[in-house]
């Protein structure tokens, strides 16, 4: 008999935390975070990490488990999340996977296979060198040329993921998007109910802007400066995350604070748009549009879906 797991995904600022916490309390669930940034210590405000007060006793996993200079990727997520799911089931509770990193939920639910290419790293180093010498956009252009479908779902600055997709194509001759589609065709080993959150684009963009304004009030600038003062360099994958990389030029005297904030809002809106595109194409489940239903109506719909499913 397949074990029960619930997924709540959606773009940034779509209301995942507000839905997942009461759901966890109603269903005796514990939350596994599917976020590529919230896993890092010291990065609280810019990642919109759930606070102890907000969590209200609901256990959370894969938050604050790595330092910003430690490696974290989908393979590590998959291994840790599977172990945590077993722990949660052993308590007689339900794992609830929550986050905006869509690649992570498919990797977990469909038990995608990943191979670490430890042998020949020459091509990988060439990619990193190209990004350093000519900029991330130059490397991203190479990916768009061979695998536009995969390129559409990731950010040009995510050099690591761009390189991984190029490396896979270089070694196998197969597009990474095709590989992922094949993995998705596998039947999930879990009894999985997935909820995808959305809302009208203008409303979502308004929420994003308000959230960023609140982050600044809460001390986002000091958080970024503190990370730099600790010695975490701008080239780290963690420091290239949205909410952090935009302020590096400001601290280097290369732009004004207003310009940095404008760039952050622009990048976040674009990211949310890419997330929605990815979820529409890659994730199957119940769509909940918060522009059309109240929070209470959404909760009733979700509970019924989980019961029926």
| Lowest-confidence pick of 96-105, 117-126, 267-276 | 117-126
Pure H helices in the chain: 16-27, 52-55, 74-90, 102-109, 122-134, 136-146, 148-152, 159-172, 176-184, 201-218, 220-229, 248-251, 257-282, 295-308
- The C-alpha atoms of residue 195 and residue 172 are separated, in whole angstroms, by 34
The residue with tokens 């997330």 is 275
Q: Is beta strand 60-61 parallel, antiparallel or unpaired with respect to 94-99?
A: unpaired
If you average pLDDT over residues 82-109, what whole number do you get?
95
Spell out a b/e string for 202-211, using b for 16 or more CB atoms within 10 Å of the CB, else e: eebbebbbee
- pTM beyond 0.85: no
Q: What is the mean pLDDT of the chain?
A: 92
Residue 118, pLDDT above cutoff 50: no
The residue that leads in pLDDT, 81 or 168, is 81
- The C-alpha atoms of residue 214 and residue 40 are separated, in whole angstroms, by 21
């Amino acid at each position: 008999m397949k074990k029960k797991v619930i997924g709540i995904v959606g773009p940034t600022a779509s209301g995942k935390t507000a839905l997942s916490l009461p759901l966890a309390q109603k269903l005796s669930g514990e939350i596994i975070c599917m976020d590529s940034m919230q896993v890092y210590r010291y990065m609280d405000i810019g990642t919109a990490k759930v606070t102890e007060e907000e969590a209200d006793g609901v256990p959370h996993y894969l938050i604050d488990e790595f330092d910003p200079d430690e490696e974290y990727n989908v393979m590590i997520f998959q291994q840790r999340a599977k172990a945590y799911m077993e722990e949660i089931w052993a308590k007689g509770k339900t794992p609830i996977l929550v986050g905006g990193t869509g690649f992570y939920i498919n990797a977990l639910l469909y038990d995608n296979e990943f191979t670490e290419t430890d042998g020949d790293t020459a091509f990988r180093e060439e990619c990193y060198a190209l990004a350093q010498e000519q900029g991330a956009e130059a490397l991203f252009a190479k990916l768009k040329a061979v695998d536009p479908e995969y390129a559409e779902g990731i950010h040009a600055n995510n050099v690591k993921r761009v390189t991984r997709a190029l490396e896979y194509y270089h070694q196998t001759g197969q597009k990474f998007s095709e590989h992922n589609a094949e993995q998705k065709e596998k039947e999930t080993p879990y009894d999985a109910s997935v909820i995808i959150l959305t809302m009208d684009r203008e409303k979502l963009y308004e929420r994003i802007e308000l959230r960023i304004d609140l982050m600044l009030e809460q001390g986002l600038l000091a958080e970024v400066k503190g990370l730099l003062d600790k010695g975490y360099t701008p080239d780290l994958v963690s420091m290239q995350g949205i909410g952090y990389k935009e302020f590096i030029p400001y601290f280097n005297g290369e732009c004004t604070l207003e310009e940095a904030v404008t760039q952050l809002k622009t990048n976040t809106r674009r990211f949310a748009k890419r997330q929605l595109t990815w979820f529409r194409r890659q994730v199957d489940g119940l769509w909940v549009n918060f522009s059309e239903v109240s929070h209470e109506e959404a909760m009733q719909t979700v509970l019924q879906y989980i019961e029926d499913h």
